[in-house]
Amino acid sequence: MKKTQPINMYIGMLCCLIVSGCILSFPGFLGAQSSALPILTNDVHTGEGTFYAATGAGSCSFDPTPDNLMVAAMNETDYDTARLCGAYVEATGPEGTVVVRIVDLCPGCKSGDIDFSAEAFALIADPDDGRVPISWRIVSPELDGPIVYRYKEGSSQYWTAVQIRNHRNPIATFEYETSDGQFTPVPRTGFNYFIQQGGMGSGPYTFRVTDIYENVITDSNIPLIDSGEVSSSSQFPDPIDEPEPTTPPTEVPTGTAVPPTEVPSVTPTDTPVIPTPPADASTWQPNTSYAVGEEVTYEGSTYRCLQAHTSLSNWQPSSVPALWQLVA
């Protein structure tokens, strides 16, 4: 089921605005400077997932990828002037988890929503459902090869447009070194090109690219071409500021000798003990805000909240394992 139209109309508008190597600007899509990306790898977001007939192309200006359609379109808030273009997102739905690359904008989606390719959606939910609750986070998968600089058609020393491709982490900034040895940030457009309207000179260039984790790649002697790709020398690393979730150790009072591997013995009983919901567990309700660790009852079972969220009518604890853990 397709509930959002591809952003072909935006691309068509862009084509009309590209005149003699200059691109005019209109708010929210062209030439806008994005605010700092408020998303880190361990941040988990919730929303709704839908699907469409994806090709791998879209508002991020990537080429179609018919052999790999694990792709998706991001809502406008999280798209954030193309800052999530090329990012990899791990999304979980009612029936599974999938990793997709962000290649398009979903203008009709709410904050937190993702519009998946039909192929990706089928791995996390029943396509007949059409719209399902999801949770997602940015991930950093291993990629083959270094990042790639892609010059837009018509690039010259007087007007230069560069796109970053094949990056494992989202791109925060792109800069080039000027003749005085200073690095100048290049504005990013909503169709995922960094464009220096007055040009960067005749080249070759020194480029500096920074990801959202402040990892930096610097490349020298990058030639100017009017269109096409030039490979970098490096790829971004797996973020070092992504600690694995840990459970705090249990403190043992001083003077109490308890071997670390000792497990308290339990005397079995003939009658199994059936856990009962805690006294303060409330009945799950839609349109209610729940905090991490809060427990509710639903259809005779007890569930513990895994992610802070506001429930929707179709987000019953039994159908959204990304949000609720069965306790008893």
pLDDT score at 216: 97
**72, part of any domain:** yes
Per-residue tokens: 234: 């490096």
**173, part of any domain:** yes
pLDDT score at 269: 44
**Shared domain check, 160 and 127:** no
From 121, 139, 157, give the residue that closes a domain: 139
pLDDT score at 313: 72
**Shared domain check, 203 and 160:** yes
Q: pLDDT tens digit string along 173-226?
A: 999 999 999 999 999 999 999 999 999 999 999 999 999 999 999 999 999 999
**Shared domain check, 104 and 29:** yes
Do the beta carbons of residue 222 and residue 149 sit within 8 Å? yes
**Shared domain check, 126 and 156:** no
**246, part of any domain:** no
**Shared domain check, 15 and 112:** yes
Spans in the chain with pLDDT lower than 50: 1-40, 241-242, 245-247, 250, 252-269, 271-279
Per-residue tokens: 260: 């670390």
**101, part of any domain:** yes
**Shared domain check, 202 and 316:** no
**12, part of any domain:** yes
Q: State how many domains the chain has.
A: 3
pLDDT score at 7: 38
Do the beta carbons of residue 176 and residue 205 sit within 8 Å? yes
CATH code assigned at 175: 2.60.40.760
**59, part of any domain:** yes
Q: pLDDT tens digit string along 18-49?
A: 333 333 333 334 444 443 344 445 689 999 99
Q: Which domain holds residue 165?
A: 148-231
pLDDT score at 292: 77
CATH code assigned at 313: 2.10.10.20
**Shared domain check, 130 and 167:** no
**158, part of any domain:** yes
Q: How many CB atoms lie within 10 A of CB 58?
A: 27
**254, part of any domain:** no
Q: How many CB atoms lie within 10 A of CB 313?
A: 8
From 111, 139, 167, give the residue that closes a domain: 139
**Shared domain check, 56 and 111:** yes
Smallest CA-to-CA distance from 222 within 148, 308, 286 is with 148
Do the beta carbons of residue 107 and residue 74 sit within 8 Å? no
